[in-house]
Structure 1
Amino acid sequence: MEKTKLIIDCDAGIDDAQAIMLAVSRPESEVLAITCVSGNTEVDYICRNVLRVLTVCDRLDIPVYKGCSKALVDHGKNAKFYHGKDGFGDITGLPEIDLNLLQKEHASCAINRIVGEHEGDVTLVAIGPLTNIAVAIRLNPNLGKQLKKCVIMGGNIEGQGNIEDGTAAEFNFHCDPEAAYMILHELSCPLTTFSWEAVLKNTYSWEWLKDILNIKTPKGVFHNSILRSSLDKHNEWKYPAYNFCDPTVVAIALQEAIVTKSRDVFATVELHGRLSRGQMICDNLNLRNEQPNVKIALEIDTDLMKKMFTSVFKAL
């Protein structure tokens, strides 16, 4: 089997951890590097969390790189209100890690170097704010030409936001709107986004998730500890179904057929609105007569997604 070469750029909170566990556990995946960016919490916590996940998965062979500690235009946005100060819900008993395992090279430089070494073969999986990738583009304007593709967790297509202050934007784009704007306009490889509305519409039953949480392998126990505490803390069990964010993006990167409905559009990012800064704007009627620059994934084969994700925790 020819493996899909991945670089994962993340702000490792709980859903990023799920995505990393999926990526490093699938037989069709070869994770070349994981790069860390501030977002859910500070980048130092992000690095620690990535190393924790790799420890549990016995994959400390994968190099981890520390990246940007602030957005291009910093306004102090984060998701500590949901993910906790440390990004994993501030729970105790998580694996101890050695930060000396971090690579010395900056994440943006590492992205450019690794993509250059595997030109045309690397899929960039972006599941946090896009700051590291924007800096990489400024250092290397040809990055998009060297990538195979980029799959992004981010943006919104109907104006539904998930920001604590009620702003009509998706979190990752809202954290660094300028970086998101750069990626949509300057990263010339094929782009696919999984929007916040798509997250809400592609759902999973609580019964299935509870079965996952009851798996007692080391990875299963770790996943249970970080996810269940969040669900309990925020009383999310009251909602009719569970939603996947970041793991779906990894699944799309590995198996494009998991996307059963999509739309190609020209999209940009609002940079100036008081209530809409960071919102992705899609020209659905092609009024600007621009070539599409992004594929919007709308519907997911949720049965395939469940099979892929369940396989992570069945293995020791």
Structure 2
Amino acid sequence: MEKIILDVDTGIDDALAILLAVESGRFDILGITAVNGNVPLDYVIKNTKKVLKHTGKESINVYKGASRPILIEPFHEYSVHGNDGIGGALSSIEVDSDDVADMFAPDFIIEQAERHQGELTLIMVGPLTNLALALRKEPRLAKWIKQVVVMGGLVSEAGKGNTLPTSEFNMYADAEAAKMVFHSGIPLKLVSLDVTKKTFLTSEDIEKLKGTHYYDFVKECTAVYRKYSEENYGVNGCALHDPLTVGVVLDPTLVTTASYFVDIETKSELSYGQTICDFGNLWNKEPNVEICLDVDSERFISMFIDTLKNTIN
């Protein structure tokens, strides 16, 4: 099984990504690292532990990471994820958010990367603060990691961002961290809004989970997200940004990719956090990111539903 660390800022789609990673049965999950993002860090930890308890995988350690971005003030997305980050779901599950593994998340990433050189995949579905801090402390990390698969950015659909017209939330939430990671030489695959916005989990899809362990949770936690999507995009659905990122590790053929040089804007008020892809090689720089150009969305949605359907109430 592939060794992974899942780095999350657990809002709704992070929670669904955890379900997919756990229930796929194809990962050796060394740990889950938490980072400030969709909601403050304490909520991220609480939500992550609730989801793990719901899956029966409480033995997976959660590591506390960065509580704020490197330079800017924290920015959260309550309008999409609800006041608690998971749409009020799992309210009956009690967890202790102080009961976390006794190691700072960036240090855990360094430790595991050194121990499993060439074998470890990082799946990053939140702001890249933890990885940036790890790289700053141990630059050799870039050589130790097998691959880093990142949910973030917008490369070919400029103007269709979800935070600024040019920018996706994870990049916007800590653009300085993203810039450090993109310039580190670490092997990166970017699963951007260009493809994730094509993977909508509709209310009809959710009904296919009826009778399974996760039906109530998926229906309840996505309600606020689906309402937001309906009001803003006219579709009652939930874009599976983070689950697709896990899916791409499970089956790389879900996406069509190509490698280009990509940089991160950190200075402009109009485009802070923009992922700028040099499609025409105007900068004459070596590619540093494998970007996703297209996705087999129907096949991925089927994968997601089928994986969760295997858990019967």
Same topology, TM > 0.5: yes
Per the TM alignment, residue 217 of structure 1 is displaced from its structure 2 partner at its CA by 2.5
Which residue in the other structure is 2:186 paired with?
Answer: 189
CA distance in 2, matches of 1:306, 1:230: 17
Q: Where in structure 2 are the equivalents of 1:5-20 lying within 5 Å?
A: 5-20=3-18
One-letter amino acid of the structure 2 residue matched with residue 149 of structure 1? Q
Give yes or no for contact 1:24–1:30 (8 Å, CA) kept in 2. no
The SS at the match of 1:193 is strand
Could you tell me how far 1:302 is from its partner in structure 2?
2.4
Letter in 2 for 1:219: Y
In structure 1, the residue matched to 2:205 is 209
Give the direction of change, closer, same or farther, for the CA distance of 1:216–1:101 in structure 2 (3 Å limit): farther
Q: What does residue 274 of structure 1 align with? A: 269
Asked if 1:296 corresponds to 2:294, the answer is: no
Equivalent pairs: percent with the same residue?
34
Of residues 152-161 and 298-307 in structure 1, the stretch that sits farther from structure 2 once superposed is 298-307
Q: TM-score, normalised by structure 1?
A: 0.91
Counterparts of 1:192-271 in structure 2, within 5 Å, are: 192-200=189-197, 202-204=198-200, 206=202, 208-212=204-208, 214-232=209-227, 235=230, 238-239=234-235, 242-259=238-255, 261-271=256-266
Deviation at 1:242, TM superposition (A): 4.9
Q: 2:90 and 2:22 mapped to 1: Cα distance?
A: 24
Rounded to whole Å, the distance in 2 between the matches of 1:48 and 1:207 is 26
CA distance in 1, matches of 2:214, 2:192: 28
Are the aligned partners of 1:56 and 1:222 in contact in 2 as well (CA < 8 Å)? no
Q: Which amino acid in structure 2 is aligned with residue 125 of structure 1?
A: I
1:100 Cα deviation after fit: 4.5
| 2:4–2:28 contact (8 Å) kept in structure 1 | yes
Moved more, 273-282 or 223-232: 223-232
**Which shows bigger deviation, 238-247 or 18-27?**
238-247
Distance in structure 1 (CA, Å) of the matches to 2:229 and 2:200: 18
**Equivalent in 59, 71, 74 of residue 73 of structure 1:** 71
- The answer as to whether partners of 1:19 and 1:250 remain within 8 angstroms in 2 is yes
C-alpha distance in 2 between matches for 1:185 and 1:234: 34
Q: How has the CA–CA distance of structure 1 residues 150 and 280 changed in structure 2, closer, same or farther, with 3 Å as cutoff? A: same
Question: After the TM superposition, which segments of 4 or more aligned residues of structure 1 sit over 4 Å from their partners?
Answer: none
The residue type equivalent to 1:162 in the other structure is N
Deviations 1:240-290 (A, max 9, x none): 76532000000111221221x222110000111111011000110001111
| Equivalent residue runs for 1:42-121 within 5 Å | 42-90=40-88, 93-121=91-119
Where does structure 2 lack aligned partners over 5 or more consecutive residues?
none
Q: In the alignment, residue 162 of structure 2 is paired with which amino acid?
A: N
Q: CA RMSD in A?
A: 1.9
Displacement of 1:96 in angstroms is 1.2
**Is the contact made by 1:167 and 1:277 (CA closer than 8 Å) also made in structure 2?**
no
5+ long unaligned stretches in structure 1: none
Aligned residue type for 1:46: V
1:35-57 CA distances to partner (integer Å, 9 max, x unpaired)? 00000010000000000110011
Query: Hey, what's the Cα distance between the residues in 2 that align with 1:229 and 1:80?
Result: 10
How many corresponding residue pairs?
A: 308
1:142 aligns with 2:140: yes
CA distance in 2, matches of 1:104, 1:143: 21
Secondary structure class of the residue paired with 1:288: coil
Deviation at 1:184, TM superposition (A): 0.7
Q: Match of 1:224, as an amino acid?
A: K
- Once the two structures are TM-superposed, the CA of residue 198 in structure 1 deviates from its matched residue by 1.9
* Cα distance in 2 for residues equivalent to 1:86 and 1:265: 37
Contact 2:79/2:228, CA 8 A, preserved across alignment = no
Amino acid at match of 1:145: K
In 2, Cα distance between equivalents of 1:219 and 1:203? 19
**Shift of the alpha carbon at 1:204?**
4.0
Pair 281,50 (structure 1): closer, same or farther in 2 beyond 3 Å:
same
